[in-house]
Structures are given as C-alpha cells and as structure tokens.
Chains A and B, each alone.
Chain A
C-alpha cells in the first residue's frame, strides 16, 4: 500500500541558479547600424525593432517626440495613411511606434514568409514619411478629448503632479500634454525631428523570431542602405537646469469621486549606480510583487484597496521610486498611515531571512520570464542596452541579488526611504 500523501509538506524546492543569456548574433549593416538578433520560436513570425536615441530628452518642444512617432505611418510621398496600413496588412505585418524619455522606437512584427516585403515597406516609411497635416489634426483632436477625460480622473492627475514634481516642472522627461502644447505641434516640427534623429547613425536594430533563409541578406540589402537625411549632425539637447529636489505635499480636489488616488515618490540612484540593486530588492519587498508588505497590509489585512504597488521609474538621467494606490475617501487617512508605517518598519526592523529569501527566489525565478523565448530575450537585451548595460548584468543578476543582506535593506530604507523624503500627492480629497 502506498503512503498517504502528506499535503502539509511542501515539495522540495530546487535552488534557482542564474541562467545563461540565450545566444544572440551581433552584426553591422553596411550603413553601420548594429543589429542584434535572436533566432528561434515555433511560430513563423518575427519582430524587428529599430531604436533611435530620440526621446523626450531630445525634443525641441514638448510632445514632439511622441507625435513624430505617432504620425510616422500617416503618410509618405507615395502613399496615404490608409494605403500604408493596407500594404502592411497585406503582408500580415504591423508597425507600432513609441517615444519614451530617452528613445523612440519602431516595432515591426509580422509573418516570416513576408519578411522581405515588410522591411521594404519599413524602409520606404523611414525614407519618405511626410507627416500630413490632416492626419495630425485628427490625432490632436482625439488627444484633446482624451486629455479632457483624463483630467477628471484621480490616477492621471496624481501621476502627472508627481512626475512633474519629482523631475522638475520644465524637465523634458516630465512634460505632460496641455491644450496649449498640443496646439503648437505642426507637421514641420515633426518632419524636422524625424529628419534629424531617425537616421542610420542614430539607430540600433533588434530582430527575433523564426526567420526564413536569406533574411540577413535581405535586411542588409534594404535597411543597410541609407534612409532619412544623410549625416545630419545631432544637436546637443538643451536640457534646462533641473531644480534640486525637495519633498512636497499636494492635494487635488475631485468632488465626484469616491476614491482618492495616492502617489508617493522618492528619488533613487540611477540604474547603473552600485546601490540600484538594493533599491530594486527593497522596492520588490515593499510593493513590487503580490506578497509585498504594502499589498499584504492594505489589501489582504485591511481591505482598503484593490491594489497597491511600488515601482521604480528609471530614465537614463533620472530615477525615482513611487507608491500608487486608489483607496476609499473614508479610509484614506488610515491608508496613508499604514503605508508610512510599513516603510518606517523596514528601517526599524531587519527583514527576516525567510522573507528576504522569498523575495530573492521570486526575483531570480522572474528573470526566466525575461529570457523566455526569442521575443522576450530580445526585449531584455534592448532594455539592458538602453541603460548602457550588457548581458553580464543579467548573468550576474542572481549572484548579486543573493549577496544582499537584511542589514543592506535596512540601510537602504534609512538612506533613501524615510517619510520626510517623500513627495505626497493625494488626488480626490
């Protein structure tokens, strides 16, 4: 007879080791663009991402990087927006564009069998995009309405206030759209930004998926040729002097709402600084996963909120950590008290070895998601590069995380996360 199963005893756990980063290729196209490539996957699809150093940091006026990216596929000298969209659909491909604090990117994904056709279209757009006025007006009209809606919600108002205070009101990273800033966007400004920054000299390419034979040849034949304006000298961005951070307290009234949106932020070192990993682990412990201190206290024990998180906002030249939560007006005061009580407790009492080990295991296990399949791996590589890091950072991640001690985290709490350093925004009071 077999033994009865003892369900109170957990199955043995295997010690998690850092995985190697998947093999990837690095090539230079004829025009000097570095190409990083991970082949693989069961489905016959690919993703190709072009990254340009052309984010909000580089823009001459607020929202220029965003609208350049947004309007990129709105028309070329040969095709209308609808024709471009049809041409892409015809080859089962899609282009998504994005502009962040430091970068603009174009992601082309599609069916591998039409890889050459899809990149040909991309090359055409990169060479001939012409930002039609009519399409721009459609976007601006839509976005003005969206802005009006957002300005009635606590989470948008609170986030916007926090972002502008943490970085400085006039900081390019922080610029939020306003009715006035949107009215200043003109096709010529977008075209000029595009001409200057969307060039081979300012570009990196990331490619992943199941690729047909000859793909590199095709890629080099097409994207290895010049596109955009040739050898424009990149201007140095004019970044205003960033005011020294001092914490502040903001209350934004929103009478109709039943909840208050809480956003509490504190500055932290940049991602490439030595203390960053400790901050990263601290953030996870505080509010970075489901079992985190804040979630346990405010959701599981008190029922004050549907969710509470802390996260780190990282840019090349700035970083801050912030806590976000929507909670009922009736319990908002109690929620604020509990949040700071948990933060303070982390500097007062060392975390137990068990809890810290759990956070480490969770984080190390989580790194496997970053390298799950060619698409995730490629995005991971891209993100590392964005912060001037390489795969060694990934390979050493587990080992470095494992070295962090309870005392380290207590010191991190005391150094960076004391209550008086936090900027507090409450929207919906």
Chain B
C-alpha cells in the first residue's frame, strides 16, 4: 500500500499542500482529480520525492519513501510537461534508464514500441506532443514499476491511442499488481476505471473514497409534478443540486432515493419520476460545490 500521511509543503509563504492523506492499494487504479492549480502535480512530485515536504511522510508497504531509499527504485513518474535530453531517442533513453531500474524489460519495450508504432530511433525532439507522451508511457511500462504515477497522461492523446493506453495499463495493473495514481482533469476518462478517487481542492484532499461507494451515495433523479413545485424536504435525503428545465426538475441527492420519492408522492401528484446515472463529473461538482468552488453566479 502507498500511503501519504499528514504531508504539508510551503513555497515561501504560500501553503501549496496542507495535511495530505492518501491510501492507494496494490492492484488498484487511484484517480487524483481536482480543480486547476489545486496541487495535483506538486503532490505527485512529493510522492516520487523530487520535492521534499516540510512535514509529513510518504510510505510504501510501511517503509519510509525518501530520495535515497531503496523502495524509490520501484517508483516511476511520468510528468505532464515532458522533457527529454538533447538529441535523445527512445532507444537511448531505454539504455540509460536500464541503469536506474532493475526490472527494465527489453522484451516489453519491443512489444510496446511495435504496439504504439513508435520508431525507437527517431529523435524525441522531432515528435509531436502525443507521440512524446506515448514514448514516455512505453518507457514507464518497460521499467515494470510497483508504483506508477501518471500526470495528465491522456491529455493530448487521440481516441485510438487512449484506448491502446488503457488496454496496456489495465492488463498490467491486474497482471503485475501495480499501484497506479493517475491525475486528470478529464473526468470522463477516469470514470469506471478507477477503484478509488481522491478529490483535491486548494492543496487538500477534500474526499477520498472508493468509486463504488461514491456512486452509491450520490443519486440523480428527474421528475415532474402536476402542481407548482414548492420544494421538498426529509430526514433521509439531502438535495445537493437542483435544476429546472420547463416543468421537469433535475436533482442531485445524497441519501435514500426511495425516501425522496415517497416524500414527493405524499405531497404532490408525480407525473414522471426517473433515476438517472451518476458519473464522476457530478460527484466532483457536488463535492467541490460543498467546498465552495464553482458556486458563484456569472453576472453578465
């Protein structure tokens, strides 16, 4: 298990990470999501120990993760703003990283370069942003890390390549029991993929929970009533968001949907009532709304 415990960091007077807690299990994909500038990249750079925290600690299987600790050799970080040494090719990087990572597999490297159709002898400087991302991903997977940190990896990849990427990643998570932390602002990409989600806001994790229980706790309904709708309340549910489109109301709820439905039927003549699917985007908006983000109205 990868555990981040009470981690804090200041850049001069600005506190960029505040008392961060994370628990990511082996063989699981952990989605790190959050508003722009909330500190996702900074957190990942602390897990890999490129940055040193002011306080708190990172643990892997109860061993402290430090810049010089043995366990860090099993960590691999693919950053968002990729930088490659001048004149390097995928082949030259592979040979170099073979010195750093004990588990580097040439077999896997050859298989993946073929699968992603990347020329390992082409200069990385001459590649597009998407090709560079694929190249970095191929290197990461070839290193067979136990902990893989992916920062905005799907950003800039087209639909076909994204599919290939997930295909390779999912197989490795199951096959090698890898721990993956993947940050993204593209919530559709992470939906139904992650086991667990950490929602970050202004340098803190405001919620960390299994995706399945997040989805069980938040519900979305649409309904219409014959009378004028004057609101509804009850002990077993709480309305998080309410949108009206003509006669139809869309609501996001926490709690018991059946109790909500009964309360509605007791007070109104219900014409239609449907439960809708909840996706990660709605969960994200509901959680950040609770933290006071995105609730401002636009005065135009």
A binds B: no
| Interface residue ranges, B against A (CB under 8 Å) | none
Q: Which residues of A contact B (CB under 8 A)?
A: none
